[in-house]
Amino acid sequence: MHETSEHAVHQHAPPTSFIRKHIFSLDHKVIGKQYYGLALLAVFIGMVLSWLMRIHLAWPTWPIPGLDKLSAVGAPAGVMTPEYYLSLMTMHGTIMVFFVLTNAPFAAFGNYFLPIQIGAEDMAFPRFNMMSFWTTFTAFLVMIAAFFVTDGPPISGWTAYAPLSAVGKDAGPGLAMGQNLWAISIAIFCIGSLLGALNFIATTLDLRTKGMSLSRMPYSTWAWFVTAVISLLAFAVLLPACILLILDRTAGTSFFIPSGLVLSDRLQPHAGGSVLLWQHLFWFFGHPEVYIAILPSIGIVCHILPVFARKPLLGPRATIGCMIAIGFLSYMVWGHHMFVSGMNPFSANLFSVPTLIITIPATILTLLLIGTVYGAKMRFTTPALFCLGFISVFISGGISGFFLAQPSLDTYLHATYFVVAHFHFVMAVASIFGVFAATYFWFPKMYGRMMSDTLGKWHFWLTFIGVYCIFMPMHYLGLAGNVRRYSAFVDDYLIALIPVHKFITIAALATGAAQLIFLFNLIWSRFRGPIAPDNPWEGTSLEWSTTSPPPFDNFGGRHMVVYQGPNEYGVEGTANDYVMQTSPEKIVTG
C-alpha cells in the first residue's frame, strides 16, 4: 500500500539529549507545540491586561490589588494613571496581534500539521524552523522587558503612529526605552516570521508526498500556504519600517518626523520626514496581518467542519479560490485605515472599492460553510461547536466591515468602539474560535489523549455567549460616538455611556474566567485524559493515518501515497462513511 517516495527522506536523526529533544529541537512537531505554548502564555498575559483595562474603564477609581507591585509609578496604590492605561492597551494589542493571533493558528498548528498533512517527515528547513521559533521567543522576551523599564511600556498603541512613537521621551512616558524595546521586539518578530513563511512555502511546494497534488491538499494546508505567502510580503515591509523607526529614535534620522515640531517646549531636531509614510508602511503590513490572523482559522474550520458534518465541504475549489482572492486583495486595501488621516481624499474611493470587494469572497466562504451544515448529520463535539460558533462570529464581525469600508461612514465611526467591535469579532474572536476548534480537534493527535468533551462544551457556551456580551454592545457605543483609546470618559456624552462599559467589563471578566475551564481541561487531559485512538474523529487526512502522537518521522518509516482528496465524507457504498486520503479504493459517485 505504501510505496517509497523520493521526497520523504528524513533529513536529521532523532535527538537523544533532553535539550535537543524538547528545547532546541529541529522536529516540527516540537516547534509547533513550542509556538502553541508561547501563544498560550501570551494570550494569558494579553487577557489579564484586558481585564485590568476593562476594570479601569468601568470603575476608574477602584484600586486593583497588586497592580502597584507591577508598577509603583504606573499604578500608585493600585489605581492606574492615564498613561499606564495606554501602556497596558499598547501591550494588550501588540501581544495579542503578534504573539497570539499570528502564532497560534498559523505558526503553532501550521508547524505541527502542515508537514504531516502533506505526508512529509519534517519542514523543508528544520534549522530555519528552530531559528524562527527562538527568534520569535526572543522578540517576546524583549517585548515583556518593556514592563520592567523605568517609565513602563510604550503608550503609542499597537500601531505606533509616528511622530508619537518616533520622537522619544519628549512625547510622554513610556516613549523612551519602552518604545525602543517595542520597535526592536517587532523587528525581531518580523525576522522570525519571515523565516517561518519561507519554510512553509518551500515545504508545501517541495515536500508533498506522492499523489498529494495541490488539489488534494487539505484546506488547512491551503490556508497555511496562502498565509505564508501573505506573511512573506507583509513582514518584509514591517521589518524595514521598524528599522527606520529605530533609526529615527536612536540615530537622529527623520524618516517619520517632519520639521517644526515642538514637544516638551523643545523644538525637535528633525526635518524632512513624513508622518504618513509610517502609516502607509504600517498598514501595508497591518491589513494583510488581519488575514494572517484569520485565514488559518478559516482553513482550520473548513478542514474540521466536514469531519463532524459527515459530508464534504461545499465548493472545495471555490473555497480555495476565495482564500487566494482574499490574500491577493489584502494588499490593495491598506488605505482604508487612513480615510481621515490627511491622505488625499480622492484615494479614499480607490481604497474603499477593493475593501468592499473583499466582502464577496468572504461572503462566499461563509455561505459555503453554512451550505455545508445544510443536510448534515452533525456530531456535536466541542470542535464542531467551535466551528459553528466561528461561522456566527465571522458573520457578526464581517457585517460591520460594510460600514467601515465606506469613507462617508468612516468619517463618523473611525476611532470609535465600532471599530473595536469590528476587529475583535472578525479578527480576534473568529480567529481564536478557530484555534479552540483546532485545539480540541488535534489535541488527541498531539498528545495521544482525548480532552474532556463536557468541560469543552461548558467552555464553548460560556465563551460564545460571553463574546457577544462583550463585543456586540461596542457597536452601540461606536454609533453613539464613543472614542476608543480613552483611559477615562470625561466628556459629557461619554459619561452617559459608562453603564454600557460596566456591562462589558462584567462580561469580559466572566468570559475570561471561563477560559480557566479550557486551561484546566488542557492540563488535566494532557496527563489524565483517556487514551486517544489514531483516528478518533474518523477524519480522512494524513494526520489520521499515523499514530497518536505521531512518531519522530511522522509515519514510522512508511512513505505515504495519496489517492484521494481530503473531502471524502458521506461516501456511500464503503465500509465507513468516509474514505481516507491514503485509501486506493475507487469511489463511485452517483
Partner 1 sequence: MGKLFAAVVFVITLISVAIFVMHTWWLPIDISTTGPAVDRQMNDTMIGTGILFLAGQLVLGVFVWGSSSRKSGRKIRIFPGGATPLVTAAIILVGLEILTLTFVGSKAWGAIYLTPPAANSLRVDVQAEQFAFYFRYPGPDGQFGGLHPDKIDDGSGNYFGLDPANDIAARDDIVVGSLVVPVNRPVELTLHSKDVGHSFYVRELRVQQDFVPGLDIPLHFTATQTGKFEIVCTQLCGLGHYNMKAYLEVMPEDQWEQWLKSQAGQ
Q: Sort 252 into a burial class: Cβ within 10 Å, 0-12 / 13-18 / 19+.
A: exposed
Position 176 contacts partner 1 (CB under 8 A): no
CB of 418 to partner 1, least distance (A): 11
DSSP secondary-structure letter at 333?
-
Our finding on whether 573 is near partner 1 (CB under 8 A) is no
d(C-alpha 471, C-alpha 399), whole Å: 13
End-to-end Cα separation, the chain, in angstroms:
27
- Shortest gap between Cβ of 243 and partner 1 (angstroms)? 21
Write down how long the chain is. 590
Cβ atoms within 10 Å, residue 568: 20
Q: Which is nearer to partner 1, 487 or 521 (CB)?
A: 487
Distance of CA 366 to the CA centre of its chain: 19
Near partner 1 by CB under 8 A: residue from 176, 177, 239, 348: 348
Binding mask 463-502 for partner 1 (x = CB under 8 A): -xx--x---x--xxx-xxx-x-xxxxxxxxx---x--x--
Is residue 134 at the binding interface for partner 1, with CB under 8 A as the rule? no
Candidates 5-13, 263-271, 285-293, 558-566; binding stretch for partner 1 (CB under 8 A): 263-271
How far are the Cα atoms of 220, 381, 560 from residue 389, in angstroms, in the given order?
18, 12, 34
**The binder of partner 1 chosen from 128, 140, 403, 447 (CB under 8 A):** 403
- Letters for 72-111 (x = contact with partner 1 by CB under 8 A, - = none) are ---------xxx--x-------------------------
What angle do the packed helices 177-206 and 82-94 form, to 10 degrees?
Answer: 10
Who's near 138: CB < 8 A, 6+ residues apart? 188, 192
List 15, 63, 78, 157, residue binding partner 1 (CB under 8 A)? 157
Q: In 244-292, which ranges are E strands?
A: 262-263, 266-267
**503 interacts with partner 1 by CB under 8 A:** no
Site residues for partner 1, 233-252, by CB under 8 A, read none
Q: Cβ closer to partner 1: 2 or 485?
A: 485
Residue placing its CB nearer to partner 1 in the complex, 199 or 392: 392
> Is 374 among the residues that bind partner 1 (CB under 8 A)?
yes
Closer to partner 1 by CB, 70 or 276: give it. Answer: 276
State whether residue 76 is helix, strand or coil. Answer: helix
Q: Which stretch binds partner 1 (CB under 8 A): 48-56, 198-206, 328-336, 378-386?
A: 378-386
Cα distances (angstroms) measured from residue 342 to each of 259, 280, 349, 419 = 17, 12, 14, 19
Assess contact for 133 and 27: CB atoms under 8 A. no
Among 37, 213, 214, 377, binds partner 1 (CB under 8 A): 377
Q: CA 129, CA 496: separation in Å to the nearest integer?
A: 52
Q: Which stretch binds partner 1 (CB under 8 A): 204-212, 254-262, 535-543, 553-561?
A: 254-262
Q: In the complex with partner 1, which residue's Cβ is closer, 348 or 560?
A: 348
Q: Which of 167, 194, 223, 230 binds partner 1 (CB under 8 A)?
A: 167
**What part of residues 288-327 is at the interface with partner 1 (CB under 8 A)?**
309-311, 314-315, 318
Which phi-psi region, left, alpha or beta, contains residue 112 (left: φ > 0; alpha: ψ -120 to 50)? alpha
From 48, 72, 141, 267, residue interacting with partner 1 (rule: CB under 8 A) = 267
Nearer to partner 1 by Cβ, of 303 and 445: the residue is 303
Report the candidate in 534, 541, 545 with the shortest Cα–Cα distance to residue 312: 541
At its nearest, how many Å lie between partner 1 and the CB of residue 46?
A: 19
Residue with smaller CB distance to partner 1, 272 or 584: 272
> Cell for 489?
470618559
- Can you tell me the distance from the alpha carbon of 538 to that of 580, in angstroms, rounded to the nearest whole number? 9
